[in-house]
Structure 1
């Protein structure tokens, strides 16, 4: 494993772990009724909307809510699985990462387009793009990282034992 893949794997692990509370505390407020959130979480979201001018979160258009619902139902469970797989260096995460990264990169295109080209984005459009852009870049890097090798974490000890047993 090279230094670049090692650094990328650490970035991916941090991304998955940090995305869990972000999804639960912030993003899910676009889908789950407000009564289920503590006041500090609602205040945090309102601060984000006011400070960064996030009109998508404040207006919650149906298409955006549907993407957030997918994040909660599909991506949130995956964050736990991927965190485990990256911590334990499990090669079976390769295809799920390609699927996840492709899905998320695709969902980020309309969000970033909205911020860049919609009149509702206002003067803080570049701030919004800079906040949301990592949610495009990291999944794309993840897809590339997982697509280029069959065993992203190399041979495992179990794999070596099974080959050794076959040779005997």
Structure 2
């Protein structure tokens, strides 16, 4: 499987997660669908996700960026992949947006991972519960981080000027 196919699958999975779970952090409860309320409740109670329960202002900001910037990137990359025909690639024109997404999502998730690691005991999570919650957030760091590195490498290879310049 190519990396573009993996990114396509990742984005395709992420769209419903964004629309059904993450946006509940910003949408007032009275406007949420019943499925959104149930998924949010499950996330908070079953996974003991104190970030979702507490919703610090910085988390709301990150979710707003996800809805305003990341969601359109997901959709645009999905469409690009589907239109690419037998090549099954995401357009190179979208690489800068994928790079920005990768950096933003990895940075956001890293903040969440650090906060969970540092604060888990304050919320009376057992070590097992803390590791479970860290395990849920870890892929949302690793995949975008890898994407950021991969797309950076692709952009450098595409740039002939970078190969000619010497870095002192």
Smaller-chain TM-score bracket:
0.7 to 0.9
Structure 2, unmatched stretches of 5+, are 158-168
3-state SS of the aligned residue for 2:27? coil
Structure 1 counterpart of 2:131, from 112, 126, 133: 126
Aligned-pair CA distance for 1:121: 6.6
TM-score (norm 1): 0.80
> Runs of 4+ in structure 1 displaced over 3 angstroms?
none
So what's the TM-score if we normalise by structure 2? 0.80
For the pair shown, which has the larger CA radius of gyration, 1 or 2? 1
Q: Which runs of 5+ in 1 are unaligned?
A: 153-168
Q: Which has the higher contact order (CA 8 A, sep 6+)?
A: 1
Which residue of structure 2 aligns with residue 73 of structure 1?
68
Secondary structure in 2 aligned to 1:53?
Answer: coil
CA distance in 2, matches of 1:61, 1:120: 14
Matched residue, 2:140: 135
Q: Map residues 19-168 of structure 1 onto 2, 5 A cutoff.
A: 19-87=14-82, 88=84, 89=89, 90-118=91-119, 119-120=122-123, 122-123=125-126, 124-150=129-155
**Distance in 1 between the 2:103 and 2:136 partners?**
19
Question: 1:98 touches 1:142 (CA, 8 Å); kept in 2?
Answer: yes
C-alpha distance in 2 between matches for 1:40 and 1:94: 34
Please provide the CA RMSD for this pair: 2.0
